[in-house]
A and B are shown apart, each in its own frame.
Chain A
Amino acid sequence: MTETTTQDTDRSETAGASSDSQTRSQPGAGTESTPETWTDYEFEGEPKMAVSGLDVYYGDDQALDDISIEIPEKSVTALIGPSGCGKSTFLRCLNRMNDRIRGANVDGTVTFEGKNIYQEALDLVELRKRVGMVFQAPNPFPKSIRDNVAYGPRKHGKVRTDFLAKLTGRDDSEREDEIVERSLKQAALWDEVKDRLDDNALGLSGGQQQRLCIARCLAVDPEVILMDEPASALDPIATAKIEDLIEDLAEDYTVVIVTHNMQQAARISDQTAVFLTGGELVEYGDTDQVFEDPQSQRVEDYITGKFG
């Protein structure tokens, strides 16, 4: 009875403050203490992206609870966790795609090369050019395969193939062809579609569409690539190709990938972040260490399949 009263007063006092300050200001308040987390991960160099104190709400529902994480450059970071724990939500915070969801509310800071991307003056278009994304469900445009892949470069003015460009002799068709071919090859789709680049992309199979979306993202040449379960609709052979691709990409790019496949995460990632239900980041660290010797009992249970 007394406990409830205290909590009520606490709430009214801290009204307006974000929930993390509430829990932090009174460690061990009540019997339900905040579960322990292991998210300190030491690495060399500056982080490409850093997140601190990130809360995300959809309306009144909290999807992410006080997430802090630093993502090293030119590496693969895997996000794993049970369905609905907020992995996609987290990923969308990194290129501010959550802005597009009505009712979504983001609190906290996310930096890209040290600059806060949630500041007023940020150029969203520029940010998303540099932080690309492959969605959980394939979403090609109802255009030809070539137009899909070349969409980004064309819109960014990197290649010009319009009528005016042809007229003035500044036609970049060859360069565009190169980009299309390179991107499709990287996404392991080239051999299947090279003879029908002008066919509509909606005529491809689900897995092919997903690889096309990867190619479309690569064509823009982003620095960070966010991938939301890019291999969930692919057969083992295409999956293996995509995994190879991701490992290759990590030489020049920073890759953040959501996956439900533990083996995949263990195979391709350099560091792994484990989210658990309720939108908390429970453990983050070197992939080998997280999988072989997890600090948290809950993470161990999740990884060994005792708890989903």
Chain B
Amino acid sequence: MSYPTDSALVVDDTGTAERLASGVVGLGLVTFVFSLLGLTQIVTEETAILGVGLYDFLAVGLLLMGVATVGLGVGSRVGVFNTTPDATPGAVTAALFGLGGFVVAGLLASQLLGFGTLGWLAVASLIGGVTFVGVALAPEDIGSTLPPGLAAIVVGLLIVGGILTPAFAWEPEGFSATLTGSMAIPLALSVTSLVTMWAGAKAYEGYGSTGRQTAAYLLVGINAVAIIAVLVGLLLFIASKGVGPAFQGFSLVPFEWPFVTNGYSFRPEVINGVFPAIVGTIWLVIGAVITGVPIAVAAAVFLTEYAEQGRFVGAVEIATNGLWSTPSVVYGLFGYAFLVPRLGGSTSLLTGMLVLGFMLLPLCLITSREAIKAVPDEYRDASAALGVSQWETIKSVVLPAAMPGILTGVILGVGRIAGETAPILLVMAGGLRDDAPNVLGSFEFTSAPPFVANDALLQSAPALPYQLYATITAGVSAENATEFGWATAFILLLVVLSFYAIGIFSRLYFRRRLNS
């Protein structure tokens, strides 16, 4: 015996709605990516697909998205689609859409219709207010699809209809900047496509809490990917400019990499390189870590394990936070005014190390304190109950357990100081040079205190970031200064990344020891 199927009564159109919604999200993603590319000028209004301008193409897509989104909302309301919307999209959505309505209406009225200030303000407030109230009172499916859908339709029409063209220019009074059409179009495309995608994702899940969750995931995901894309873009950009000059004359067998192994010789027949600056930067970081990190960790141990938690610790905490946010040029000035006269009277590698060490200090102190605080008290109790002194406990239980956190601070700090230019400018400035500072080889023993001397430490040395600044901006005479600069930037990036790699691997090592 089988149940009679009455297909006329059961309108099961979930499939259609889901397909439509995925179409909206998919189209939206494409539009969003291309409009971002448009914002970075990688594609422009001249880019064409199959003879049709790219932006026209995207605008038609946006138009379709808008229509589909409105369809999804209305379809859900009249019951064509099986959905479970809430009573309202919520106050935050309403407020944001209201704001969006205000901006869009204001721009349309002032820029296209030529209203005066009073006029566009009135129109914008009216539309914004109506949108806010409408969305707040509407059921969720209508409230979250109609505004984005309509906005997509309007923007699509504006572009397709040739009203918003690359020739369009907006010069807000009192600003010296101009918003041109070639920026405005991708900007409008990216914003509207993002919001429409959000609506599409909601519709895909049939609204309700699952809908909101999926839509939120979509936005958060796009956000994360976009940030990573910006980073990768930055790296690729520098690499694309710098790899060429940096690898000039490179060969693997026999190994030759003149840009990295040569100094700057001012002779036309050899390829100039940044070897001295690389060595200088590495010595700077090593010196800064040696001066800064032990003091920071010791201070953190004292403040966390020994000191009475009270006013003194609070004051130190405030001072540390203040030091951390002190601009680096101020550190440089301190080094210039205080350290330089006391350490040989001229700018030197040593003063550079000390100043960068001071800069490293607050961050390492803050992170070390947090790491030590995060070590469970149970470990300390267990050790104390075994009759082990506090210092032994700190040495063999607390610090090993806090090590990964401490290293995180060192990694972050080194990332900051390795690329620091301003203090170097003041306390170490070394120009383009042929020879690298020979720190290890310059140690000499003397018969009088302090018994050791090191000329290399007391001389100025070049460093990558400062050299970059000098060649590109300050016009220090160098042949092909720009190319040399990009290559230097690329190498600086590699050096900083290798410091990161060292830090991250040592942190991994200590984590392993704690956990396996």
Contacts and interface: CB of A to CB of B under 8 A. Distances in A.
A100 B396 contact: no
A100 B384 contact: yes
Contacts of A128: 384-387
Contacts of A139: 376, 378-379, 381-382
Contact of B385 (A135, A143, A155, A200): A135
A203 B382 CA distance: 18
A152 to B, nearest CB: 4
A97 B384 CA distance: 8
B386 A200 contact: no
Contact of B515 (A133, A200, A220): A200
A140 B388 CA distance: 15
Interface string A99-113: 010000000000000
Interface string A106-150: 000000000000000000011111101101010111110000000
Interface string B495-516: 0000000000000000000111
B392 interface: yes
Interface in B2-30: none
Interface string B363-395: 000000000000010111111111111001000
Interface residues of B, number: 21
A240 B400 CA distance: 36
A128 B392 CA distance: 14
A107 B379 CA distance: 27
A63 B72 CA distance: 66
A100 B387 contact: no
Contacts of B389: 125
Interface string A78-112: 00000000000000000101001000000000000
Contact of B378 (A129, A135, A152): A135
Nearest to B389: A125
Given A141-B397, A142-B514, A133 B388 contact: no
B154 to A, nearest CB: 60
B510 to A, nearest CB: 11
A190 interface: no
A145 B141 CA distance: 59
B401 interface: yes
Contacts of B388: 125, 151-152, 155-156
A98 to B, nearest CB: 11
B379 A141 contact: yes
A303 interface: no
Contacts of A130: 387
B385 A141 contact: no
Interface residues of A, number: 31
Contacts of A140: 382
Given A129-B387, A152-B386, A100 B397 contact: no
A217 interface: yes
B348 to A, nearest CB: 37
Given A135-B382, A139-B378, A200 B387 contact: no
A94 to B, nearest CB: 11
B384 A141 contact: no
> Among the interface residues A95, A100, A142, A143, which one has the most CB atoms of the partner chain B within 10 A?
A142
Contacts of B378: 135, 137, 139
A184 to B, nearest CB: 16
A216 interface: yes
Contacts of A129: 386-387
Interface in B333-379: 376, 378-379
Given A139-B381, A199-B516, A125 B397 contact: no
B515 A132 contact: no
B514 A200 contact: yes
A132 B384 contact: no
A152 B387 contact: yes
Nearest to A222: B387
A299 interface: no
Contacts of B387: 125-130, 132, 152, 155-156, 220, 222
B381 A100 contact: yes
Contacts of B400: 142-143
A202 interface: yes
Interface in A183-214: 199-200, 202-203, 213
A200 B376 CA distance: 17
Contacts of B516: 199-200, 203
A203 B514 CA distance: 11
A139 B386 CA distance: 12
A220 B388 CA distance: 10
Contacts of A137: 378
Nearest to B378: A139
Interface in A201-237: 202-203, 213, 216-217, 220, 222
A220 B386 contact: yes
Contacts of A135: 378, 381-382, 385
Nearest to A219: B386
> Among the interface residues B383, B384, B386, B516, which one has the most CB atoms of the partner chain A within 10 A?
B386
Nearest to B390: A125
A129 to B, nearest CB: 3
Contacts of A203: 516
A208 B381 CA distance: 19
A95 B388 CA distance: 13
A276 B24 CA distance: 70
Given A142-B514, A155-B396, A95 B385 contact: yes
3 closest A-B pairs by beta carbon, nearest first, are A129-B387, A139-B378, A128-B387
Given A155-B386, A155-B392, 14 more contacts: A97-B385, A128-B384, A132-B386, A133-B385, A135-B378, A137-B378, A139-B378, A141-B379, A141-B383, A143-B400, A155-B388, A199-B516, A213-B382, A217-B386
6 contacts: A97-B385, A125-B388, A129-B386, A139-B381, A141-B397, A202-B515
